[in-house]
Chains A and B, each alone.
Chain A
Amino acid sequence: MKRAGIIRMVVILVAVGALEFLCRTGVISSFVMPAPSTIIYSTVQILASGRFAADIWVTLRNVSISIVAAMVSGVIVGTILHRLPMARRILDPLFATYYAIPVYAFYPLLMVIFGLGDLPQIAVGFLLALMAVIINTLNGLDRVPRVLVKVARMHRLSGWAMERKVRLPFAAPYVFTGFKLCVAYSFVGVIGAEFITSSRGIGYEISYAYNNFDNQVMYPLIFLILAIVTVINMSLYAWERRLLARRRT
């Protein structure tokens, strides 16, 4: 491991250790926060008991649906927009403003349109993730070198064959950046929506435990979510590095 990696591990361990110490000595009261070791222990217990298995499954399923839907439609919309400069120019202010608009403000509206099931939560995740994919797809397609396009023309590739065999593969690293954001935003959107109002899912259970001052459940669930998201993001980060390293050689 590199030196920076070792220092980082030490920094994180010291921070967690300090938190443990403050909790154990009672500086942070157990009403506010249980000690990290207790949280990890309860997380394992909760997972083993299977009490929240259904909620975890629902949340992960909804996040996955949101990721897949946003990726597929984002890449398709991005590819089409790239061929329509006029439409793209008009939509440009929307791209620039999109993330300035609080998407949760539309959640009530989505609930009325999609009803009380899982769809409104998925829709929030989808809406949040979609634009990141579109923007990064466009960004990648913009950078395809002229020479590749010319070679493709010389081989008389049709329009869609050119997108599929030349442009999109070249844009892949940028699309991957969009994919990373898509995963993160889908989690943020779905869990945030569950947290505001829903009838199941991890976000709902956290909010329920919070309303009942049930720290024994709340902290392990929060830890579980953060751990899942961090592990997924770190794996994507590592995977991306490997892909980029291969491309350079």
Chain B
Amino acid sequence: MKWRDPLALIAILLLLWQAMYWVVGDVALTSPVSTFRSLAVMLADPRFWPHVNETLLAFAQGFAIAVVIGLGIGFLLGAHSMTGEVGEPILVALYSIPKVTLYPIILLIVGIGMPAKVAFGAIQGIVPIALFTMNSIRNLNPVFARTGRVLRLSPLASTQRILLPAALPEIVAGIRVGFSLTLVGTLLGEMFGSQRGLGYLLIQAMNLHNMRTIMSVTLLLVIFAASVNAVLLAIDRRLHARA
């Protein structure tokens, strides 16, 4: 029962894709079967893997930075109510600005190539992780924090032993959102200032009007993003069920 719904959804999406292909034809779209086939050819090509590695490396670094800084800001703003009240509107404002426009500035500051991609992925991911963490800490039962004080735990120990475990379900939800946005950021970074990576392949294929590459890379990205998201979602649900 649990796995039947997602399978039905995938089947419906594939059917829609095929139907769209019949309508618009070869110029705009490749059919599901031929896209999977060309993705397989691509994956078998040794020249393709450096691009995947480049993107994964940039993404992993950006994500790690986003999680560390996001959790830091979130804990600070959540645990200290005045700081939270001052900082929250700033965070919300940062969340809703189109960060793409900041890209040229980041390039000017950190330079072209790997650092730019990492920075761009990280700035997209930090804010949602910080917002989720802040809200989860703020909504914790105040008894938890008081218990920590009664037991004379240091701030670090009470964060580690009480706040973090109690807030974990919400934090995982934030990390899930941060994961997606960091991936988007990394790819966007590659689309502008880079000579390698999947984002670069996409923009290059776009300029050459190479539908086959566009569709295959997009498919690969969708499969990757959807599977990681499914795993994080499963962890998220389990934690929420336990809480």
Rounded to whole angstroms, the CA-CA distance of A111 and B206 in the bound complex is 9
- Is the beta-carbon distance between B177 and A109 smaller than 8 angstroms? no
B-facing mask of A93-135, CB < 8 A → 1, else 0? 1101101111111111101110000000000000000000000
Contact of A206 among B13, B96, B104 (CB under 8 A): B104
Contact A195 B211 (CB under 8 A): no
Contact B28 A218 (CB under 8 A): no
B205-228 residues with Cβ-Cβ distance < 8 A to A are 205-206, 209, 211, 214-215, 217-218, 221-222, 225-226, 228
Number of interface residues of B (CB under 8 A): 60
0 or 1 for each of B8-35: is its CB under 8 Å from A? (1 = yes):
1100110000000000100111000000
Contact indicator A210/B104 (Cβ below 8 Å): yes
Do residues B27 and A100 form an inter-chain contact, with CB atoms below 8 A? no
Write the nearest CB–CB distance from B48 to chain A, whole angstroms: 16
Q: Is A106's CB under 8 angstroms from B218's CB?
A: yes
Docked CA distance A90–B105 (Å): 43
One of A109, A113, A183, A221 near B218 (C-beta < 8 A)? A109
How far, in whole Å, are A4 and B188 apart by their CA atoms in the complex?
Answer: 36
Taking residues whose C-beta sits less than 8 angstroms from the other chain, chain A's interface range is 35 or more
Question: In this assembly, does B156 line the interface, its C-beta being within 8 Å of a C-beta of chain A?
Answer: no
CA distance A7 to B82 in the complex (A): 9
B122 contacts the other chain (CB 8 A): no
A1-38 to B contact mask, C-beta < 8 Å, 1/0: 00110011001100000000000000000011100000
Q: Give me the interface of B with A, judged by CB distance under 8 Å.
A: 5-6, 8-9, 12-13, 24, 27-29, 82, 85-87, 89-90, 92-93, 95-105, 107-109, 176-177, 179-180, 183-184, 187-188, 191-192, 202-203, 205-206, 209, 211, 214-215, 217-218, 221-222, 225-226, 228-230, 233
